[in-house]
Structure 1
Amino acid sequence: MQYSFLYSVLSALVFALAYWFTQYEVQDWVLDQMRSDAATLVEIFELGGDEVLVDRVDALAEVSFQNARVYQLLNADGAIVSGNLSSTVESPLPDYLPAQELPLGGEIHDEVTGYWLRADDVGPYRLIQGAGDHIVLEILEALGMALVAGYLAVVILGLIVGVQIGRITERRISAISNTLTEVSSGNLASRIQIAPNARDDLSRVSTEINNMLGQINRLLESQEQISNDIAHDMRTPLQHLRQRLEKLRDSPTIRPDDITASLDQTEEIIATFNALLRIAQIEGSDRRERFAWNDLREVIGNVTEVFEPTAEDAGIELTIKVPDEQLEVFGDRNLLTQLLSNLVENAIKHCPAGSKVLVSGENTPEGLILRITDDGPGIECRDQERIFHRFFRGEKSRNSPGNGLGLALAKAICDLHGAVITVSDNDPGTVFEIMFLT
Structure 2
Amino acid sequence: MRTSIRTRLTIATIGLALATAALALGTVYFITVAGVERHTRRDVQRELDSLVERWKAGGLDELVKMVNERVADPEHGGFAYLIAQEERLRIAGNVREWPRDEGTEDGQEPVSLEIRKLDTWVMKPVQLESITLGRHHLLVGRDSTDDATLIADLGKATLASLALVSFLTVAIGLGVSRNLLGRVESMRKKIARIIDGNRQERVEVSPHDDEFDELAAQFNRLLDENDRLLAQALDATNNIAHDLRTPLQRMHGRLEAALTARDTTPENRELLEALSADTHQLLDTFNGLLQLARLEGHELRRSMRPIEVDKLIEDVVDLYGPLAEDAGLELRVSVEPDLRVTADRQLLGQALANLIDNAMKYAPDGRSIEVEARRRGDAIEISVSDHGPGIPAPDRERVLDRLVRLEPSRSVPGTGLGLSFVAAVARLHGGTLELVDNDPGLRCTLHIPDEEGAKTPDLPSEAALEP
Instruction: Provide TM-score, normalisation by structure 1.
Output: 0.44
Instruction: Provide TM-score, normalisation by structure 2.
Output: 0.41
